Chains A and B, each alone.
Chain A
Amino acid sequence: MKKMWESTVSKFAKKTLFYILITGIGIIIITPLYFLVSLSFLSSREAYQYPLPLVPAISSEFKLEKGDKGYLLSIYEKGDREYQTMIDTKNIEKMSRYMKLQLSVDVSVEKLENYISKLDQQNEVYFKSYKGLLHNYKTFFAITRDAIPALIRSLQVAGLTILISLSIGGMAGYAFARYIFIGKNALKVSVLFVRVFPAVAIAMPMVIILATIGFYDKPIGLSLVYSVGTIALTIWITASIFLGIPVELEEVAQIFGATKLRTFINITIPLALPGLAACAMFAFIGAWNETVSAIILTQFNPTFAVVVYQSVLGAVDQVNLAAAGGILMAIPMVLFTLFIRKYINQMWGGVKI
């Protein structure tokens, strides 16, 4: 009886320990990302406080009173539980602009004048204002030259890369799965080998090659370079997918009078969809993320990754803006991954996400 009780306790203790371990690992994985998200919502003033606030404030409380130079604005500091002087000025426009830039709070000049007019009757005016949480994101687009065109270009590059690598790689993958041909093994090895040569080494001579065909500094040029790696990947994945589709299915369709092309479009492609989706995802991620070749192969038309890279590189004074850029970079990837997730799940043979 006692032994049974002991074993239950030790089982329970083991289980608890296990979950503590799991939770700990989970927290370690999530924490850095949490701070990036949190930072991207901080106002410039908050971002330069130390220690940094753990949670971005949603609203701020202000106090307005008469000061030496004009009107004195103070902000309530939750940590110290007191008001801290921010700015003392007669110029109300300046005050409004300061609040917007430093505190991410949008208070119009009229509203401030309204508060100030109350100062005739009372010594201090208190008011509360909500913070513009997307302020850093708006600023990122406002001060980063070219961010929106770069975003569109990046999507073009990714789309073209998917198109090129799926069509070319998919065809070869089908040949790998269904036919024996001379040079099959050589091609198989070369498919692995193209990934060994660093992307930079390809990109540098590509400047001249693309310039001669008129594709330098254009989305199509970049996607041609990115497709080298993704075609290789597409061949590997689609070959195994097509192998899994019984050849009999195709033969039956042909017996019933379908042409080869029709069989391929109506039978093979739908069955291969999960693998093709996975290939599309890898192509998208690869093209969206890539920075090195994009730095080398663009001049006046950078991709979004390059724009964010430059803003992060020079982000000594604007960590909250760099964080917003990093998040903006991650959003399309997360969306695309979610969008395509169910197909991937099928392909991984039941690795559930």
Chain B
Amino acid sequence: MTEIIIPPSNLLKGVDTINLSNLKKNKNWTPYLLIAPTVIYYIFFWLNPVITSIYSSFKGVDGSFTLQNYINVFTTTSFGEAFGNTAFIAGISIVIEFFIALALALLINKKFKGSAIFLFIAMVPMAIPAVGAAAIWKTGLTTYGWMNSLLYYLGFLEKGEKLLFLSGSKFSILWLIIIIDTWQVIPSMMIILLAGLQNLSKEAKEAGYIFGGNGLTVLRQITIPMLKPTIITAVILRLISAIQIWLIVVILFGFDRIPLLLERVIYYKEELSRLDNSYQIASTYAVITSIIVTIAAVVYLKVSGAFDISKKEVV
């Protein structure tokens, strides 16, 4: 999925850190008029379907209230496997992507000769739509695809020798997915971190060097802590979309081979739609996925101390 980027400065701080003198404090109805369309829109096109979704996850085939859908999901639909795969992919890919993206951002921030060109190249995967990326890897990883051809031209493979990327063990497939995801996601993460880096004051860093710090200590003691709000933004956005990975996996491996939380939703909605309770199962999976995303996001924000940051800034 192509990531959508939010300028890091305003997701977690920003709106609260306003100069209060700028605000019009007169109690008129203008702000309410301005936010009314958004509120109405959310109620109708967000809250409404969300409630319907939750409602149908508790609805049996005959229309009565039941917990059977949840019991079915947890006991009979390879929920454990889907959860495990998703957690494995999301957990590892976020760590890898974060460190590579940070390294690239620090590199480009150095402003070497040709850094503009490099930045441009690094952003290329961002312009590739999800379906386009799927086409890249689908054509690349088949037995006679470009990946094997390339390895052959580079001399890694003998003539007639081929790597079977798509039919490896489950473990190797999961790693393959992580690598593909990394290629796709790093640019957007890097841009967020880069924008954050460019907003940092140079003085603090210079002071660090004056007081005898070397490059590494300045990075660890000054740059990273100052970059923290940006890092939290970048990781939280990634976390939300990493748990929702499915399209590339389905295009490469088909349904049901590597179960994932969201893959299950589409699987039951589109592929098994003839079952009596497939719609309910799909809804239940969607609700469970949302709950997992929310818990992961809240836990991450708590652990990383994001709540403390925004509290400080409100004061």
Q: Which residues of A contact B (CB under 8 A)?
A: 18-19, 22, 25-26, 28-33, 35-36, 38-39, 48, 50-52, 54, 167-169, 171-172, 174-181, 185, 187-188, 190, 192-206, 208-209, 224-225, 227-229, 231, 233, 235-237, 239-240, 243, 246-247, 282, 285-286, 288-289, 291-292, 295-296, 305, 308-309, 312-313, 315-316, 319, 322-323, 325-327, 329-330, 333-334, 337, 347-353
Contacts and interface: CB of A to CB of B under 8 A. Distances in A.
Contacts of B139: 35-36, 39, 315, 319, 322-323
B132 A36 contact: yes
B11 interface: yes
Interface string B96-114: 0000000010010000101
Given A32-B136, A192-B11, A224-B45, A201 B283 contact: yes
Provide the main secondary structure of the chain B interface. helix
A226 to B, nearest CB: 10
Contact of A333 (B127, B134, B290): B127
B54 to A, nearest CB: 9
A200 B269 contact: yes
A198 B56 contact: no
Given A31-B150, A190-B42, A239-B15, A200 B132 contact: no
A187 B39 contact: yes
Contact of A296 (B5, B247, B269): B269
Contacts of B127: 330, 333-334, 337
B38 A235 contact: yes
A32 B133 CA distance: 9
A26 B118 contact: yes
30 contacts: A22-B114, A25-B122, A32-B137, A32-B140, A171-B34, A171-B37, A172-B38, A175-B31, A180-B23, A180-B25, A200-B286, A204-B269, A206-B49, A225-B45, A231-B42, A243-B14, A243-B18, A247-B24, A292-B246, A305-B129, A309-B134, A312-B131, A315-B138, A326-B132, A326-B136, A330-B127, A333-B128, A349-B198, A350-B198, A352-B116
Interface of B: 1-2, 4-7, 9-11, 14-16, 18, 22-25, 30-32, 34-35, 37-39, 41-42, 45-46, 48-50, 52-53, 56, 104, 107, 112, 114, 116, 118-125, 127-140, 142, 144-146, 148-150, 152-153, 183, 187, 191, 194-195, 198-199, 240, 244, 246-247, 250-251, 262, 265-266, 269-270, 279, 282-283, 286-287, 289-290, 293-294, 297
A105 to B, nearest CB: 22
Contacts of A239: 10, 14-15
Contact of B129 (A227, A292, A330): A330
Contact of A312 (B16, B45, B134): B134
A30 B187 CA distance: 12
> Nearest 3 CB-CB pairs, A to B?
A326-B135, A201-B286, A205-B52
A178 B129 contact: no
A33 B123 CA distance: 12
A24 to B, nearest CB: 11
Contact of A348 (B7, B14, B246): B7
A309 to B, nearest CB: 5
In this complex, the member of A32, A172, A325, A352 whose beta carbon has the largest number of chain B beta carbons within 10 angstroms is: A32
A239 B56 CA distance: 36
B113 to A, nearest CB: 9
A353 B124 CA distance: 11
A193 B297 CA distance: 10
A202 B265 contact: no
B129 A329 contact: yes
A218 B5 CA distance: 28
Contact of A33 (B22, B136, B262): B136
Given A175-B31, A282-B5, A315-B138, 16 more contacts: A169-B38, A179-B30, A180-B25, A195-B240, A200-B262, A200-B265, A205-B49, A205-B50, A205-B283, A208-B52, A228-B42, A228-B45, A239-B14, A305-B129, A348-B191, A353-B120
B46 A202 contact: yes
A193 B46 CA distance: 10
A206 B56 CA distance: 13
A240 B17 CA distance: 10
Contacts of A28: 183
B153 A196 contact: no
A237 B121 contact: no
A214 B2 CA distance: 30
A225 B45 CA distance: 7
Given A201-B265, A205-B53, A236-B10, A36 B135 contact: yes
B131 A39 contact: no
A286 B4 contact: yes
B132 A330 contact: yes
A209 B44 CA distance: 9
